[in-house]
Structure 1
Amino acid sequence: MQKWINICALRVLALLIVSLLVPSQPATAAECLGGGAVRQAISDGRAKSLVAITQAANAVVRGDVIKANLCSDGGRLVYELVILSRQGNVSRLELDARSGSVISVNGK
């Protein structure tokens, strides 16, 4: 039981450290949507839910999504995800919001 608690505490600490170390990059070409606009885009069918996008991302990079943004980039919606793997690697993924297809992967 103590071992399990220690493992959980280490994971929480790792997530905290990564969230502090991974700079939130202000979008240059993309403008990220707020909560209401995200809900509207999903209900309009212009974007998949975060659950569906996470499943698509985990097919490429296994791990926990520690940051997710839905952004408008050149007239199309994209999800920008930061994923922390169980090995402690940080990956940034960009996925098409409507199809869930991966546009780019950095740090894999």
Structure 2
Amino acid sequence: MADVKIRAPSPFWPRLAAAFAFAAPVAARGEGAEFQCFPMAETRHLIADRRLADPFASMQAASSAAHAEPIAAKLCRDRDALVYEISMLRRDGRVLRIYLDATNGQPHPGHK
């Protein structure tokens, strides 16, 4: 019978896994402080409470201007401003995201 040696796992892999486990939440927290999207219930409340622009009308206007099919609209906070993140599907299959100022439905100056 052949001699089979069993190697102990390298101490490198547990350290690498731990590094990824700690790095991902830290990176997400840093990004979340600047840009955060709201859940649907809170979105409805904010639209009614702050009298924001109609998200469906904004989505339709943006999709016709971009010649793309609207997919979704989310209300998000970008630093101190409320913006709609409008996702659209272009005819070439690419997803396009446009950011509109939620107060007036105009393009948000902080995004392309």
Q: TM-score range by the shorter chain?
A: 0.5 to 0.7
Provide the C-alpha distance between the structure 2 equivalents of 1:60 and 1:82, rounded to a whole number of angstroms: 13
Residue correspondence of structure 1 range 1-108 to structure 2 within 5 A: 28=31, 29-103=34-108, 104-105=111-112
Task: Please tell me the residue identity of whatever aligns with 2:97.
Answer: R
Deviation at 1:90, TM superposition (A): 2.6
Deviation at 1:30, TM superposition (A): 1.0
Deviation at 1:31, TM superposition (A): 0.9
TM-score (norm 2): 0.59
Task: Please tell me the residue identity of whatever aligns with 1:39.
Answer: R
Provide the C-alpha distance between the structure 2 equivalents of 1:85 and 1:43, rounded to a whole number of angstroms: 31
Deviation at 1:59, TM superposition (A): 4.5
Q: Percent identity?
A: 34
Deviation at 1:92, TM superposition (A): 1.4
Deviation at 1:46, TM superposition (A): 4.2
Provide the C-alpha distance between the structure 1 equivalents of 2:41 and 2:77, rounded to a whole number of angstroms: 14
- Which structure has the highest helix share of the two? 2
Deviation at 1:68, TM superposition (A): 2.2
